[in-house]
Amino acid sequence: DTEVTQTPKHLVMGMTNKKSLKCEQHMGHRAMYWYKQKAKKPPELMFVYSYEKLSINESVPSRFSPECPNSSLLNLHLHALQPEDSALYLCASSPGQGVDNEKLLFGSGTQLSVL
Amino acid sequence: SQQGEEDPQALSIQEGENATMNCSYKTSINNLQWYRQNSGRGLVHLILIRSNEREKHSGRLRVTLDTSKKSSSLLITASRAADTASYFCATDPTGANSKLTFGKGITLSVRP
């Protein structure tokens, strides 16, 4: 299995809803990432987990809450989002050490719309 | 803050032609990477070039790196309609806690 799998592919939620985005990889990668991407813009880093510990939080609002239950799974819990949070949310992973350590493997993303 | 800046911002060519995209950056780097993104999809890693390398090839891709000018170029030879996508350069800055930073991207359209 050489993919990063993200679910759901599309999500529509109201501002009072609570939802979660899920990301899974089975390549033994030890670093996992959440990116946010608005249309026609580059991806913006939100969080990095390294060896299941949060290593980078790019000053993301607390309405976004990451979780790494184990080395294969990464969740992003969403609560009380704003319409401006509508974007493509991308998960990525990288080996975390050794050869090709720096190359990111991306999932297909979750297109989120906040109404 | 944006590290890599690509140019041009948009490029339209005929199938079979070569496409050249440039990226400039500001600080010292460990490596520079190029990614492709089809509309609404995830990014796909194309090629990585390290700071001590000057040129690298992968299939129809050729990447150069000039650390003295802090610039890189991506050449796609014999382009195909399927190469239509957005292309991003990403730099891995030196220093502790460095993180990959993406440029604004180039939109490439290859006309059949």
- Condensed to tens digits (0 to 9), the pLDDT of residues B51-65 reads 999 999 999 999 999
Measured in whole angstroms, how far is the alpha carbon of residue B72 from the centre of its chain? 7
- Which residue(s) pair with B16 in the sheet? none
pLDDT given for residue A98 in this prediction = 67
**Would the CB atoms of A107 and B42 count as touching at under 8 Å?**
yes
pLDDT (tens digit per residue) in A33-60: 999 999 999 999 999 999 999 999 999 9
Average pLDDT across chain A, whole number? 94
Beta-sheet pairing, A110-114 with A10-13 = parallel
Q: Does B50 touch chain A (CB under 8 A)?
A: no
**Would the CB atoms of A103 and B45 count as touching at under 8 Å?**
yes
pLDDT (tens digit per residue) in B74-103: 999 999 999 999 999 999 988 766 788 899
pLDDT given for residue B1 in this prediction = 43
pLDDT (tens digit per residue) in B10-23: 999 999 999 999 99
Q: Per-residue pLDDT for B3 more than 70?
A: no
Which of A91, A106, A93, A103 is CA-nearest to residue A23? A91
Of the pLDDT bands very low, low, confident and very high (cuts 50, 70, 90), residue B6 is confident
Give me the mean pLDDT over the A82-93 stretch: 97
Shortest alpha-carbon distance between residue A38 and chain B (Å)? 10
Let me know if B5 is exposed, middle or buried by CB neighbors in 10 A (0-12, 13-18, 19+): middle
